[in-house]
A = this chain, B = another copy of it.
Amino acid sequence: MEDERNASQEFALSSWSRYSAAALGFRNYWYPVMLARELGKKPRAIKICGEKIALFRDGDRVFALHDRCPHRGIPLSVGRKEAPGTISCAYHGWTYDLESGALVAVLTDGPDSPICGKVNVHRYPVEVRAGLIWLYVGDDPPPPFEDEVPEEFLRPNAVVEGYAEVRDGNWREAIENCIDEGHSKYLHRYALTTFWREAAAWTRGVDMVPSEDGSWLNRVRGETVVNDVYPRVGLWPRKKWWRKQLTGQSTQLSNRLPCYCRVGNPRSAYTSYQIFVPVDETRYLAMMLSVGWKTGLGALRFHLQQWKTLRWGKRHGFDPQDKWAISLMEIPPERLYRPDKSITGWRRWCHETARPQNAAERFALLAGGEPSPVQTVADGR
């Protein structure tokens, strides 16, 4: 038995080089970045995929610009609104069109300022849908919003309740934790939420299978084993009279690029989403959302119920445990086991299907090339 301090790792992030390179997330995708109700008249500064972005609400519309005046590097998010549809930098009054990012006036250089028309700030395509603000982050022209975003958010009567929070850890650790088969049977066994319920001990087999249209990667699982007799530990978990065995209802987990995890329950009238948006290498934005389809009073009731449920879960449910584990995780190196096939499946899928990230990848793809080769992997498959 080798010493783990020197052991070479059979499973390494680097087996899937495109995934391993995505510490700042996958580019050329639409990302949800904020609940629309959280953006008021005051501009907001955020960071997504390592880029500083200023969000502006102007009348009914929302705009997003690179949060840096090219003149002297002051954030545009601390600017002033001198005219509708524009933002003026707080330092010298360089005034940009919110829609295009073009420099349209320079107040402290007169109407004939020769620099007008020669400078523009990067603008991020924005959509406001289902109570969320979505941005396109990338270098290629954006694909149509409707083609990319899960259909459940696009229905006209979609209602979203939830919360969003920047947390410690890389976004990949967060989304891998979400589909991680084993941890829910150990870490979450000790949550207050599950005090009355008994989780199973383990599951025979787990795999990730793409949906028919290729947009989702579904986690499929074998039979669960309620309890078992282990070396050294004996019978585990031991029966506790106050805990009721969980029955039939099976939660369906599905991942989607760039960073969605959909938590569906057949018996439920809504869908839960956990979306892990990259902030930078060491932080991610956790968006914990419930999506329903209601109007009027039904929508109001949905908001209230989900607000209550999510609030409880944020305190006593799985979420604080996941947040804690992700903040403690230190990988690489790592050493995976059978149930981690969900993780390696997701990594492989990202490696093979993520949009080209840059010119070199685009060229290779057009030339009929493939992503860089995937190594064979032992225990985890």
Which residues from chain A sit less than 8 Å from chain B, CB to CB?
A: 1-5, 7, 66, 68, 70-75, 78, 80, 82-83, 85-86, 88, 90-95, 97, 102, 104-111, 113-122, 180-183, 185-187, 190, 201-202, 204, 225, 228-234, 236, 325, 328-331, 333-339, 379
Contacts and interface: CB of A to CB of B under 8 A. Distances in A.
B236 A109 contact: no
A115 to B, nearest CB: 5
A232 B4 CA distance: 63
A132 B109 CA distance: 39
Contact of A74 (B122, B325, B333, B335): B325
A71 B339 CA distance: 12
**How many monomers of this protein are in the complex?**
3
Given A86-B232, A107-B185, A109-B182, 18 more contacts: A1-B119, A3-B120, A4-B66, A4-B70, A5-B66, A68-B330, A80-B190, A83-B232, A83-B233, A86-B233, A90-B187, A93-B185, A93-B186, A105-B231, A108-B181, A108-B183, A110-B225, A113-B337
Contacts of A104: 231-232
Contact of A105 (B105, B232, B336): B232
Contact of A95 (B1, B108, B118, B232): B232
Nearest to A200: B108
Contact of A5 (B109, B122, B233, B337): B122
A84 to B, nearest CB: 9
B122 A92 contact: no
A11 to B, nearest CB: 10
Given A120-B1, A120-B3, A334-B73, A110 B204 contact: yes
A84 B73 CA distance: 51
A90 B182 CA distance: 11
B105 A233 contact: yes
A82 B329 contact: no
